[in-house]
Amino acid sequence: MKHRLPLGYMALGLVLAAVVGLAIGASWGQQPGSSLARVVNLVPAPQPGSLFSGRANVAIVVDPELKPTAGEASSLREFLSMGGKVVVIGSGAGVNELLRSLNSSITVADGVIVNPSINSGTPLAPLAAFRNLTVVLFNASPLELGPGAQPLMESPPNSSVLVNGTLSGDRSYVVAAYQQVGAGELIVISDPYIASGELLSQADNSNALKLLINSTDAYLVEFLWLRPPLQVFAQEALYFVRSLKGQALVALLLTAVVVLYPARSAAREAEDEVKALLALHPDWDEEKLKDIAKGRSLPDGQSDKG
């Protein structure tokens, strides 16, 4: 049995690794951490409990999936009490848990807003108006406003809500709202994709988000449950993998896996073959057998002598 690793196979592996690496990089590039940087300068958040000691007066939380820890909630409440602005983007249970922890009367309701006529090519992408701007939504949910909350942006008048396959309603729904919380401001946007790269490039979405954030600098609040220095390390690591350097590193690592894994497998097969031959012929020279096996496992056209 030969253990050759054809050069063509290696070349194909390199190409595939590069393509996959770039695809992953492009995917990361669509994530909020990269996309939001197009509308606001994102700065690393200070340690928990001291958000206001940093340079930004706006903190952005994108589509939280888990209930905030006591430390996260306390840090954001303190930020609000000192006059900061918190922008919460997303829908679902995680958002509602966060809003409750911030003593907000805004709630994200179940369902997805659809519109059969005033949309951007699909009923799931209704067009909303914010001031004089047109905003493309996607998978936005209705917001229910309690005492003190005010609407900022609504879906078109003939919209419906899709819940578990059932449509209901024929009116406009609030998709962005504002509430004064202590000395600070809370803004809730129920569209989890509005901060994604694809949606930011549509209509006036980018400008609308700039107006809603209304700040030069902002924190992208992540990893507040970690204590320094782990929090700083996690934030910097996340920023790195979203950068071009991080994407290049992914491509490089995938290339290394594609090249090294088959070679390692061939080496193991060669080692197993040597052991099997020595079991049958104990008197044979083991080193010579290894040299022969090594030569057979090299790629076509290569020699272990150079």
**Distance (Å) of CA 147 to CA 98, 105, 106, 180, 181:** 18, 6, 9, 10, 11
User: What's the first-to-final CA gap in the chain, in angstroms?
Assistant: 24
Which pLDDT value is given to residue 99? 92
Q: How many CB atoms lie within 10 A of CB 285?
A: 11
Query: pLDDT at position 238, please?
Result: 59
Which string of b and e fits 171-202 if b means at least 16 CB within 10 Å?
Answer: ebbbbbbbbebbebbbbbbbbbbbbbbebbeb
Neighbouring C-beta atoms of residue 118, cutoff 10 Å = 15
Q: What per-residue confidence (pLDDT) applies to 265? A: 57
Q: Please report, for residues 72, 79, 87, 119, the alpha-carbon distance to residue 226 in angstroms, rounded to integers and kept in the order given.
A: 9, 18, 21, 41
Q: Looking at residue 235, what is its pLDDT? A: 55
pLDDT at residue 261, rounded to an integer? 59
Q: What tens-digit pLDDT sequence spans the chain (306 residues)?
A: 444 445 555 565 556 655 555 554 444 444 444 577 777 877 766 654 555 556 678 888 887 766 777 777 888 888 888 888 999 988 878 889 899 989 999 999 999 999 988 888 888 888 888 888 989 998 899 999 999 999 999 999 899 998 988 888 889 999 999 999 988 999 999 988 887 777 788 888 889 989 998 888 887 776 554 554 555 565 556 556 555 566 667 677 777 766 665 555 556 677 777 777 778 777 777 777 777 766 655 444 444 444
Collect all residues with Cβ–Cβ distance below 8 Å to 66 and sequence separation of at least 6.
Answer: 94, 97
